[in-house]
Chain A
Amino acid sequence: MRAALRYRRAQALVVAVLSALVTMCLVIAPLYTRALEQAMVGTALREAPAERSGLRLVSTSTTDRNLAVPSDDLTALVPPTIRGLFGTPIAATSLEVRQMPLLGQPGGRLQARDGQCEHVRFTAGACPVAAFEIAISADQAREYGLALGQSMELGEFDEVVSLPEAAPHATMRVVGVYEPVDGAYWFGDRLTGQAAKGLGYDTMLTAPASFTASVPMPGGGSGSWFQPRYAVDLPLAPDRVSVDDIQGMGATVARLAEFPMGVENAGSHIAATVRVHSGLPAIADEMSVGRSQAAITVPLLMAQLGLLLAAVLWLVLVAAADQRRGEAAVARLRGRGARGARRLLLTETLPPVLAGVPIGAALAVGAVSAARHTLLAFGSVWRPPLEVPWPALAAVAIAVAGMLGLAVVSVQRVCREPVAALIRSVPPRPLGIRLGVLEGMLVAGAGAVFLALVTGSVRGPVGLVAPTLLALAVGVVASRVLPSLLAVSGRRLLRSGRPAAGAALLSASRRGTTRWLVPVVTVALCITVVTTDALAVGARNRAGRAAAEVGAPTVLVLDSVDLATVAAAVRTIDPEGAHLTPVVTIGPSETGRPTTVGVVPDAFRRIALWPGVDAGALPWDRLTAPSAAPLVITGTQVTYHVTATGFRTVGALRQAAPTALAIGLRVVRGDGQVEVISWGLLPEGGIDADQTVPLDCAHGCRVSGLGIIAPPSTAPVAGAVTLRGLAVDGVPVDLGGASAWRDVSTSDSAASAVVRPDGLTLSYSNGPTDRIFLDHASVPAVVSALTTAAARPSAEGATFAGAFVNGTPLLLRSAGSVAFVPGAPASSSVVNLDNVLAQGWTGRGSATLTAYLDSDDPATVARVRERLDGQGIAVLATRHPADVAASFERSAAAWSLQLALAVGLLSLLVAGVGIVVLASTSWRARSRDYAGLRMAGSSARGVGRIAQLETAPVVIVSGLLGAAIGLWAAPAAIGMVPLFTTPPPTFPIDLTTAWGLCLMAGLVGLVALTLVGVLTSRQVAARSELARLRETT
């Protein structure tokens, strides 16, 4: 055996290498899938906020504090099967409180949490350690004028206590002032933020004893707080979680959330007090999707390469068996029969095949290990030091069985030949373009599978192999057709007096190796092009989706609720809106309604990112601003002269007539709040007087309406009132011309205005409503919007509700379609920002104010931040498409596709090896032919040229064929490959072929393989000494 291996060392080496590569391809799939799953789970768990990856149990009772489960007991509810996967529990007790006596101050929270003082920074004082000591936030100290050592009375206010006289209370002494430090420890809780905006008290930290000590009770005596809230947070310990734990953990947590105290206690009062919060079930579901994607995409990618490798290995084995025909003949001549001949040949063939298996397995382990440290280095979960998943072992077994099968079959076909055929020096070859039975079946099968895939009969990631199957089928057919074409071309060239080229083509047409070379190169180039396209399309869509979901190269999320201020600030920074533009995203207050996005159309068109959309072609001109200039009043006092003849009741008197009406002014504040301000009264009998009333518009109010307010539940009235000499803080206010106000009319109410130079006369009839207003012309009745498909009403031209304006929906009308709105949800309507400024919105919390910047240069971003800061607008966060794209890249779908790069490169490598192998197995016959040419008078150089011409056309034609198939079939294939774990909500996936990259990859592959073919041919030609002619074997 050793002698046999030594005799054909290079061949044995090639077989061993191919065997190793085949094994690697098969083994790497389960190993990489496993590593990918581990990285995916690790990344998900590490990147998820602590409150999502962790477990929070909360218990509080509105009826009996004894029913609430204390923190220690809450920890005990966590099933032991998953308890070990979490870190040290963090217990907390908290209480909703207000300062006593009640003077209108908003509420806050009193909290004691394990180790809390180690997770804040004290700017003054120290950690509260005794009962009724508190640490307050720095904002709280500033806003409410609290200082160290000062005491405050805090009373409990929550579902149980709503009246001050019923509240347990205690005097708390301020012992510390803290600033928050963000971190996973807080499980997403924000301690501060309320006080800074004057909205309430930030969380007050206290010692646990504050919750256990007796407190004064309403009506005397002492007792306990009524409704303490007990909680325990269990942070996940990702290092303890193996990839196999995640599904079980998700299911266990979901069950715990459903039945915190077990199914048997599900109906108990205590169980009703416990709530479980965790994102683990959702994470488990996401992982399940990712795993299923990876489990299909990775093996299919590797299967293509495996298919090519198996083809090349088969080629080598067949060539090797053909080379051993003489040995088979000797064995048969010596009476060993077909079986003995087979044994002789296998003795030489099997050892390198088997030797390649452990090498291939080791290569797979090494490659996956390298991937773990590079591509998948973003996160990992616990795994045993030496992990051999059973699918990897199965892959090794399949590799061994498959390759042994190939080896046996390749040898079998030789050994079964008649001895008379075996002893011929040149093995008989089929002539013409007829396909063998096996080849016919292969072509028919591959063609059928491809057709099934492209016609949609079969769906799914299996589509990735469709182009390879097609290339294989076409390659096999071409391998039969091409030799005939080469022969015809060769003869023509000979007739036309070009003997070298003619001889080369004729030579290529009769080489047995041509039949192998064609499918190998065709499949390799097809794989190269398809994998390049898969990579390019994947990257393009990840970038596109990230751009669409972020909205601009940089999106600055602003810590402000005042749109007017933000718009003004942005205008100050970039007056032309060339690089920076404000964008307000107003979420719907009802599910099913679209999000309203207010933009400066021209700037938004230029600055926002529109992957795959021609933003310039959208009808931006239809997003008109209100035609009238806004009426803005600023001041604290309004004076005017009012004249009214009195009002009369309208219709049957079922309700009491009002005794007086009020003049009302509807204004929109900068934060979107719409308020109605009452001015002076209009008595029933009429009035003609100067009036001066206070006005809460120190920072400016945008007037959206003027009208009459009647007392509730009074009879409808009608009348007229004239306002003259309107002035705010002594500054006259121009109420505008006749077109400045829009009459309002319904079936039973109406308001109209007559505007003269000296004043405005409002005629009204309020009907059943208690207020009727004229709309200022700067407030459009219906706003034009560009709408996404999900936001568009089914009826053409119909109005539909946008964001709510203090209970009234903003009426929108679709003025055009847009595929998606950058940075906004799928169901969105884009409107002119001026309309939003005029209308207002639901108010605080419903809108996100952002600024879109057309650059992601850190220096530019920092400069803009600084200038916004200078305008009093803090930036809460910045978002960049690259960050979001990076998160998409850390997904199973992306990681699976990354393997395409290796597959593409390896396919070229394998095809190159195939070409070398074919040259090495046929070199003796070829060099003998070339020696004949030299004998006939050809120069060595001429023979070298013929040798090159013999190979190059075959490689080039096959490569072009493969590349063309790849380019044609890639979109059909890639359309079935999951590019994302979850489908993009807005961005339309773009499967357009990446022509440039694909053509470049195809060209590079073609040039590389042609070079390999030409160089090996030159080597063969260099051995064409005349002595070759004397060789008989």
Chain B
Amino acid sequence: MTVPRAIRTLGLVHIYRSEGHDVAALSGVDLSVDAGEVVGLLGPSGSGKSTLLALLGGLFRPSAGKIFVGDHELSALSPAELDAFQARETSLMLQGAGRNLVPYLTVRENVEFAAAQARRLGAEVASVDQGLELVGAADFADAPLAQLSQGQLQMAALAVAMAPSPGVLLADEPTSALDRVARERIVAALLRVNRERGTTVVVVTHDPDVAARLPRTVTIRDGRIGGEGRSGQEYAVVTADGFVPLPVHIRETLPPGTLLRIEAAGEGFLLVPEVKGEPGQD
């Protein structure tokens, strides 16, 4: 059955080539997700959150840094070990439900297809019906995919992702292009999965409503962790090399080149901008 896994990244860097230029998608990401935790990855388009999710899913290797999922250091895995890891330990739900499904199989058959490999590798997986019940896809399990709505397809994709009873579920924009009701059902299903199976869930989302439903969010900005939210409270995160990205609303008030004086103030710290031409003035 499901064994929740913790996730940890250390100085994760990923550079890819686009039209002859090197582009840094991630520029040193240190992230820890506890086993059984639900985390939302937020950030603007191109910030690197989907890249981070793909790296966590083992789709490609990072340019630098390390990724630990449970006991596995992903970069050290052989291709066969990586296949086994993807079959049993981690499930990645791609954006767009159809991309997670074999189009000519029913939902049940898709779930079985995903479960079979994990079972073959010795994993204890929940029954297909249990999986379908868990995500709420039992009602349309035997219908052809072509007859399903977008919401049902997304539920089906989630059922497939959960078929091997993975320790980690990585979902990329699971609610995009869905109406409100469908979005609610998906979020509920994700939280149910976490609640009932203990699966660690990492969700990439743009949707503030979805983010608001998640207990922890991590914002990725310019390839770095730009902040974190816990129970509605936003935090800046100190990186391993001591950098602290300012929250967006603070940064908007500080033009580039602004000098800040950091002073201890009781249990906290005070950031005091220096006025140009008058150093030392408060």
Interface residues of A in 331-352 (CB under 8 A from B): 332-337, 340, 344
The answer to whether A1033 touches B98 (Cβ under 8 A) is yes
Query: In the complex, which of the residues B101, B103, B117, B160 contacts A335, with contact meaning CB atoms closer than 8 Å?
Result: B117
Give complex CA distance A330, B91 in Å: 11
**Is B59's CB under 8 angstroms from A337's CB?**
no
Assess whether B113 is interfacial by the CB under 8 Å rule.
yes
CA distance A326 to B84 in the complex (A): 20
B99 close to A423 (CB less than 8 A):
yes
Given contacts A330-B102, A423-B94, contact A340 B60 (CB under 8 A): no
| Interface flag for A492 (CB, 8 Å) | no
Query: Across the interface, do A1033 and B96 meet the contact criterion of CB distance under 8 Å?
Result: yes
Mask, A137-180, CB within 8 Å of B = 1, is 00000000000000000000000000000000000000000000
Task: Indicate if A684 sits at the interface (CB-CB under 8 A).
Answer: no
Residues of A within 8 A of B117 (CB): 334-336, 340
From the candidates A3, A326, A334, name the one contacting B99 in the complex (CB within 8 A): A326
Bound Cα distance A418, B60 (Å):
8
Q: Which residues on A sit within 8 Å (CB–CB) of B164?
A: 334-335
Asked if A336 and B59 sit within 8 Å, CB to CB, the answer is: no
A4-B104, A420-B60 are contacts. A336–B96 as well, Cβ < 8 Å?
A: no
User: How distant is the Cα of A335 from the Cα of B160 in the complex, in angstroms?
Assistant: 13
CB of A672 to closest CB in B, whole Å? 90
List residues of B (69-122) whose CB comes within 8 Å of A's CBs.
79-80, 83-88, 91-92, 94, 96, 98-105, 109, 113-114, 117-118, 121
Do the beta carbons of B83 and A335 come within 8 Å of each other? Answer: yes
Which residues of B sit under 8 angstroms from A418, Cβ to Cβ? 59-60
A337–B98 CB distance below 8 A: no
User: How far apart are B13's CB and chain A's nearest CB, in angstroms?
Assistant: 16
Q: A419-B59, A423-B94 are in contact. Are A335 and B85 (CB under 8 A)?
A: yes
Which residue of chain B is the closest to A330 with respect to CB atoms?
A: B102
Interface string of A782-800 (1 = CB under 8 A from B): 0000000000000000000
Complex Cα–Cα for A423 and B172 (A): 13
Instruction: Give Cα A340 to B57, complex, Å.
Output: 18
- The verdict on B54 contacting chain A, using a C-beta distance below 8 Å, is yes
Q: Which of A296-345 contact B (CB under 8 A)?
A: 326-327, 329-330, 332-337, 340, 344
CB pair B87 A3 closer than 8 Å: no
Q: State the CA gap A344–B103 with chains docked (Å).
A: 12
Binary contact readout A993-1033 vs B (1 if CB under 8 angstroms, 0 otherwise): 00000000000000000000000000000000000000011
| A333, B96: Cα distance in complex, Å | 14
A571 close to chain B: CB less than 8 A: no
Contacts of A330 in B (CB 8 A): 99-102, 113
Q: Which of A330, A333, A334, A418 neighbours the largest number of chain B CB atoms within 10 Å of its CB?
A: A334
Does A255 belong to the interface (CB within 8 Å)? no
Whole-angstrom distance between the alpha carbons of A330 and B103 in the complex? 10
Contact B86 A335 (CB under 8 A): yes
Contact (Cβ within 8 A) B102 A333: no
Residues of chain A within 8 A (CB-CB) of B88 are 335
Binary contact track A1-21/B, C-beta < 8 Å → 1, others 0? 001101110000000000000
Q: Chain B, 116-145, contact with A by CB distance < 8 Å: what is the 0/1 string?
A: 011001000000000000000000000000
Q: Would you give the shortest CB distance from A760 to chain B, in whole angstroms?
A: 112
For residue A337, which residues in chain B have a CB less than 8 angstroms away from its CB? 79-80, 83
B114–A1033 CB distance below 8 A: no
Nearest chain-A residue to B114 (Cβ)? A334
Q: Are the C-beta atoms of A1032 and B60 separated by less than 8 Å?
A: no
Q: Give the size of the chain A interface in residues (CB under 8 angstroms).
A: 24
A3 to chain B: closest residue by CB: B104
A410 → B minimal CB distance (Å): 19
- In the bound complex, residues from chain A placing their C-beta under 8 Å from that of B60 are 418-420
CB pair B103–A326 under 8 Å, yes or no, is yes
- In the complex, which of the residues A4, A330, A425 has the most CB atoms of chain B within 10 Å of its own CB atom? A330
Nearest to A418 among chain B residues (CB) is B60
Alpha-carbon separation in the docked complex, A337 to B79 (Å):
8
Task: Give the Cβ gap from B169 to chain A, nearest Cβ, in Å.
Answer: 12
Can you list, as one digit per residue, whether each of A333-377 has a CB less than 8 Å from chain B (1) or not (0)?
111110010001000000000000000000000000000000000
Of A8, A327, A332, A333, most B-chain CB atoms within 10 Å: A333
Contact with B along A681-699 (1 / 0, CB 8 A): 0000000000000000000
Contact A335 B118 (CB under 8 A): yes
Rounded to whole Å, the gap between the CB of A107 and the closest CB of chain B is: 93
Contacts of A420 in B (CB 8 A): 54, 59-60
Q: Which chain A positions have C-beta within 8 A of B94?
A: 329, 333, 423
In contact, B99 and A1033 (Cβ under 8 angstroms): yes
Q: Across the two chains, which residue of chain B brings its CB closest to A333? A: B92
Query: Which residues of chain B are near A329, meaning CB under 8 Å?
Result: 94, 99
- Least Cβ–Cβ distance between A515 and chain B, in angstroms: 21
* Contact A336/B98 with A3-B104, A419-B59 known, Cβ cut-off 8 Å: no
> Judging by beta carbons under 8 Å apart, are B84 and A335 in contact?
yes
Question: Which residues on the B side are within 8 Å of A425 (C-beta)?
Answer: 99
Contact across chains for A336 and B99 when beta carbons are under 8 A apart: no
Centre residue among B92, B98, B104, B177 by max chain A CB count within 10 A: B104
Tell me the nearest residue of chain B to A323, going by C-beta.
B103
- Residues of chain B contacted by A1032 (CB below 8 angstroms): 96, 98-99, 177
| Interface 0/1 of A418-429, CB less than 8 Å to B | 111001010000
Q: Are B83 and A6 in contact (CB under 8 A)?
A: no
A912-946 interface (Cβ within 8 A of B): none
Are the CB atoms of B104 and A6 closer together than 8 Å?
yes
Closest to B60 in A: A420
Taking the closest CB of chain B, its distance from the CB of A924, in whole angstroms, is 12
Q: Given the interface contacts A419-B59, A420-B59, A423-B94, does A333 sit within 8 Å of B79 by beta carbon? A: no
Docked CA distance A344–B99 (Å): 15
The interface residues of chain B lying within 8 Å CB-to-CB of A419 are 59-60
Q: Which residues of A contact B121 (CB under 8 A)?
A: 335
Closest to A326 in B: B99
Task: Let me know if B83 and A336 touch, CB within 8 A.
Answer: yes
Please report which residues of chain A, range 9-68, place their CB below 8 angstroms from some CB of chain B when the two chains form the complex.
none
**Measured CA separation A425–B98 after assembly (Å):** 11
List residues of chain A with CB within 8 A of the CB of B54. 420
- Give the complex CA separation of A332 and B59 in angstroms: 9
Q: How far is the CB of A326 from chain B (nearest CB, A)?
A: 6
Bound state CA distance, A6 and B99, in angstroms?
Answer: 20
- Interface residue from B59, B80, B86 paired with A334 (Cβ < 8 Å): B86
Q: How far is the CB of A798 from chain B (nearest CB, A)?
A: 81
Q: How far is the CB of B178 from chain A (nearest CB, A)?
A: 13
Min Cβ gap B16→A in Å is 9
The answer for the CA separation of A337 and B82 in the assembled complex, in Å, is: 9
A327 closest partner in B (C-beta): B102
- CB contact under 8 A between A334 and B104, given known A326-B99, A419-B59, A420-B59: no
Report Cα–Cα, A148/B177, bound state, in Å: 116
CA distance in complex: A1033, B94 (Å): 12
Q: Is B104's CB under 8 angstroms from A335's CB?
A: no
Q: How far is the CB of A1033 from chain B (nearest CB, A)?
A: 5
Residues of the B chain whose Cβ atoms lie less than 8 Å from the Cβ of A332: 83, 86
A3 and B86 contacting across the interface, CB-CB below 8 Å: no
* C-alpha spacing A334/B102, complex, angstroms: 11
Sample (17) of A-B pairs whose CB atoms are under 8 Å apart = A8-B104, A327-B103, A329-B94, A329-B99, A333-B92, A333-B94, A334-B114, A335-B84, A335-B85, A335-B88, A336-B83, A336-B117, A340-B117, A420-B60, A1032-B96, A1032-B177, A1033-B98
Binding site for B on A (CB under 8 A): 3-4, 6-8, 326-327, 329-330, 332-337, 340, 344, 418-420, 423, 425, 1032-1033
The 7 A-B pairs of least Cβ separation, nearest first, read A335-B87, A7-B104, A335-B86, A337-B83, A3-B104, A1032-B96, A334-B114
Q: Can you name 10 extra interface pairs (CB under 8 A) apart from A332-B86, A334-B118, A1032-B99?
A: A3-B109, A326-B98, A326-B103, A333-B57, A333-B92, A335-B87, A335-B118, A337-B79, A420-B60, A1033-B99
